[in-house]
Structure 1
C-alpha cells in the first residue's frame, strides 16, 4: 500500500511539474508579445486627433471627398468637414494622401497574438475568427478591455459537426439536444457566432439553427455535405463560406456549368446570405504544386510554428505525393481555380454580396498578407476596384449587427482607418504596406507596423501553441 501511495505521489509530482512548466512557457509567450500592450503612460488623448488635407474614400458611396478634415475623439469619428477647429489634439497633416476604412478579413484562424500585429501591418483592423477556442475568448477580452493593440476581434465557437469523426479539432454533436446545449453554452461563454461545419446531418443542423435563432446568435456556414446545399440559405446563416464547396457538393466535383446555373439561381433568390469565396486558400494548393520549396519560402516565416510543422507540412506532403502519382493534378487544380473565378463572375452578375475572407492561418495561407491576393482575385473575376474594396469594408461590416459600427468613414463610426499614398480605386496595390493605420483612433506608423512584422517572423512559440491547442481539446471535447 505504501508503494502504491509513493507511486501516486510521484505521478502527481510529475504532473505538477509539467503543469508548472507549461504555465511558465505560456507566460513567457505572452510576455514576448508585450509590444502589443497599451502603454498606460501615454496621453489619454492618444486615440484623438485631427487629420487634415486628406482625400477620403468613405465607402458608403462610390466617391472621393477631396481635401477634407477628420476629427477623431476617443476612437470615434466626430466630424468630417472642409474646416474643423479643435484645440488640444494632435494634428496629422495627411499631405493629400487617401483615407480608407480599415480592411476586414472575415475568415481567419488565429493561433497566437503575434498574428494580431501581422493583420494590423497589412491594414486589417477587424477579423472574424472561425475556429473558436478558449484562447480566443481571452484575446477578445483583452482587446475589448483595451489592454492590447489589435484588430477588433470576433469569433465563433468550436466548429460544430455531426457524429461522424472528422478530426479532433471539431465538436461532434450526437443529438439535437446536444446541439441546442452547445449553442446555449457558446452564447453564455462569450463566443460571438456559431460555425456549422462539414458533417452536420439535417436533424442536427435544424436544431443548431433553431437554438441559434432563440439565442440570437448568427451562424457562419461551412457547407455540410450531409444536407442539401440550399439548406444554407436560411436567414439565420449570415454568410456561406468557400467557393470550392459549390463544386464539391452541388456540382459533385465536376465543373458542370448547367448544374451551376441552379446554384446561381438559389443564390439569386436569397437576400439574407453573404458569400465568402476564400479563393486564396484553394489557389495555394496550386502554389504548393508548382513550388517544391514553398515551406522554406520567406512568407512561411510568418506562419505559426506549430501550424507550419504540422498542417503546412501535411498539406504540402499530400499534394506533393499526389503530384508524383499523377502529374495531371497540377492542371486539374489550376482549372478548378479558374472555374472558381467564373463562379464569382456569375454570382456577381446576379447581385450576390461578397465579403472578403482568406482562410488565413492554415496551410500556407499567411495571416495578414493574404488579403491582398484575395482582393486581387476578386478584381480578376470582374469586380471593379470599388466593388472589390466593398468586400473588405462596408459589405463585411453589414454582415453582423455587432460589426455595423465600422466599414465606412462616417460620423459616429469607429475610427478604424488606413492612410495610404495613392488611390486604391485606381490601383488596389495601394492598400499594401499602409503608411499609417488607425485602430480605434490610435495611430500606428509604418515603423511600428514593421516592428510588428519583425516580431512575428520566425517566432519560437511552438510549445506554447501546442499547449493552447491541448487546452482546447481538453476543455471543448
Structure 2
C-alpha cells in the first residue's frame, strides 16, 4: 500500500499543476526602486502590493509577484517610488463667491504628487471642514485634508473666518468649539489678539489635546510661545526673531508702546546672533517644536522686481477671483523704491540662510508653501516642488528636503505609524518618479504616477486633472469677461 501511494504521488508530481492560488490585491507595483527617505537609501527591484488603501506587501520583485496578483498592475520600469508628498501649510479663501474656485484647487495637489495637505485656515473654514469630510467619505476628489478650522484671533481682527476672543472665557469657548468641530489642530494669529491671551490659548488648546501653530505676537518672545506649548512655528521670520540677542527687550518695548513695529523690525534685523540662535533652535528641537519655513511665497514677493509672473502658464489653472486676490501684495511690492527692493532681497536671503542652522540644531523642518488665496503666484501644487528646490539651494541635502515633505508632516501629527515610508501597514499614498530624488530634488516634479488612498492615477490621468481644471478656469474667465 505504501509503495502504491508513493508511486501515485510521484506520478502527480510529474503532472502539470495549476498555478498556486495567489493572494488577491487591488494594486501591484512591480520593478520599482523604493526610496527609503528616513535612511536616504535606495532598494531596487522591489514590488509593492496594496489593498483597501493599505500596503500589504513589500519585497523582492520576483518573490512578491509569485505570491500576489492584483486588479491593477503597474510596471515601475525601475522608477523611483516615494511616499506621497505633504504640503503642511495651505490656505483656502477669498469669500463665499470663490468657494468653487477654491475647490478646483484640490486636484492640482494630487496632480503634483501631494497626497495630504494641512489647511492653516482662511476665511472659508466651515466649507473646508465639509470638504475634509467629503474627501474622507469618497464623495469629493482631493488629497487627504487636515484642517485647523477657524483661527483663534482677537476682537475685530484683520483676518476673517476667525473665532474672536477678548477674554479667557472667550478662549475657553473657542477651544471647546474647535473640539466640537473635530479640528486636526489649532491655528492662532495675532492681528488683534492680546499677547497674554495668545499664551493662554496655546496652553488651553494643548491641555485639550490639540496641536497648535500660529503667528507669535511681537510683544512676546518665541521662547514664551514655546514654553506655553506651541507645536509649530509657521514662517521662518519667527525663527529669525528667536535668534536675536535682545529679543526680550524688543518685545517688552513693543508691548509698552515705546517702539513701533518698524523700529522693532529694525532692531530684530540688527540683533541676530549665531550663538543665541543655535541655543534657541536646540530648545525648539528639545521641545519638539517644528518649523515650517514657507520660503517660496517670501521668495516670490521679494523678487517681483525680477519676475512679475504675468506670463506664468500656471495662471490658467487659477480662477479669476483667486487671481484678483493676488493684487494687494503685488501693488504693495510695486510701490517700493530701489532701497526697499534691495532690503526685500536681503531679508529673504538672510532668513533663508537659517535652514542649515535649524537642521544642525535638530529642528524638524516641515515643507509647507502658504499657497492659496492672497499669496501671489504661490500656486497650489507646483509651489511645494519650488519650496523643496529652495531648501536644497539654501543648504539642505535632497534627502533632508524630501523628508521635510514626506516624513515631517506625519511626525507632527503623530502618524508616522501610518505615513512617511513604504512599509507593510502604511497608507497606500505613493508617487512614482522618473528620476532619483536623492540625487536631484527636482526629480519630485517628474511624476509618472500617483497612488492616492490605494487608487492609481497614471500620467494620463494626472494630465487630465490639469486639463479639466484649465477648462474650468477658461470658462470662469469667459464668464468674468462678459
Do both proteins adopt the same fold according to a TM-score greater than 0.5, normalized to the shorter chain?
yes
Deviations 1:228-270 (A, max 9, x none): 2212324742211101234568754243364454243122123
> Is 1:301–2:316 an aligned residue pair?
yes
Matched residue, 1:122: 112
> Is 1:313–2:327 an aligned residue pair?
yes
Matched residue, 2:346: 335
1:171 to 1:248, Cα distance in 2 relative to 1, 3 A = farther
1:139 to 1:46, Cα distance in 2 relative to 1, 3 A = farther
1:439 to 1:235, Cα distance in 2 relative to 1, 3 A = farther
> Is 1:214–2:207 an aligned residue pair?
yes
Over the aligned positions, Cα root-mean-square deviation in angstroms equals 2.5
8 A Cα contact 1:102 1:416, kept in partner: yes
Shift of 1:299: 2.4
Shift of 1:404: 4.8
Shift of 1:181: 0.7
CA distance in 2, matches of 1:215, 1:366: 34
Secondary structure of the residue aligned to 1:64 is strand
Matched residue, 2:305: 289
Matched residue, 2:99: none
Matched residue, 2:377: 364
Q: Within 5 A, what are the aligned runs for 1:46-125?
A: 48-82=26-60, 83-84=63-64, 85-111=67-93, 112-125=102-115
Moved more, 250-259 or 188-197: 250-259
Q: Within 5 A, what are the aligned runs for 1:59-208?
A: 59-82=37-60, 83-84=63-64, 85-111=67-93, 112-131=102-121, 133-163=125-155, 165-199=157-191, 200-208=193-201
8 A Cα contact 1:229 1:250, kept in partner: no
CA distance in 1, matches of 2:327, 2:341: 18
8 A Cα contact 1:288 1:319, kept in partner: yes
CA distance in 1, matches of 2:182, 2:338: 47
Moved more, 204-213 or 247-256: 247-256
CA distance in 1, matches of 2:410, 2:157: 34
1:248 to 1:306, Cα distance in 2 relative to 1, 3 A = farther
CA distance in 2, matches of 1:46, 1:295: 51
CA distance in 1, matches of 2:182, 2:475: 30
Secondary structure of the residue aligned to 1:328 is helix
CA distance in 2, matches of 1:353, 1:71: 30
8 A Cα contact 1:176 1:203, kept in partner: no
* TM-score computed with the length of structure 2 as normaliser: 0.81
1:460 to 1:238, Cα distance in 2 relative to 1, 3 A = farther
Shift of 1:151: 0.9
8 A Cα contact 1:97 1:422, kept in partner: yes
CA distance in 1, matches of 2:176, 2:416: 21
Secondary structure of the residue aligned to 1:354 is coil
Shift of 1:99: 0.4
8 A Cα contact 1:49 1:91, kept in partner: yes
> Is 1:278–2:270 an aligned residue pair?
no
Large movers: runs of 4+ above 6 Å: none
1:59 to 1:230, Cα distance in 2 relative to 1, 3 A = same
CA distance in 2, matches of 1:158, 1:264: 34
Deviations 1:331-389 (A, max 9, x none): 21111111122211222221211000110012221000111111011101211111110
CA distance in 2, matches of 1:174, 1:432: 45
8 A Cα contact 1:281 1:365, kept in partner: yes
> Is 1:238–2:231 an aligned residue pair?
yes
Q: Within 5 A, what are the aligned runs for 1:23-38?
A: none
Secondary structure of the residue aligned to 2:384 is helix
1:47 to 1:69, Cα distance in 2 relative to 1, 3 A = closer
8 A Cα contact 2:26 2:71, kept in partner: yes
CA distance in 2, matches of 1:403, 1:174: 37
CA distance in 2, matches of 1:189, 1:447: 38
8 A Cα contact 1:108 1:127, kept in partner: yes
1:355 to 1:73, Cα distance in 2 relative to 1, 3 A = same
8 A Cα contact 1:419 1:435, kept in partner: yes
* TM-score computed with the length of structure 1 as normaliser: 0.81
Q: How many residues align?
A: 416
CA distance in 2, matches of 1:193, 1:203: 20
Secondary structure of the residue aligned to 1:80 is strand
8 A Cα contact 1:295 1:312, kept in partner: no
> Is 1:453–2:445 an aligned residue pair?
no
8 A Cα contact 1:275 1:355, kept in partner: yes
Matched residue, 2:442: 429
Task: Specify the structure having the higher radius of gyration (Cα).
Answer: 2
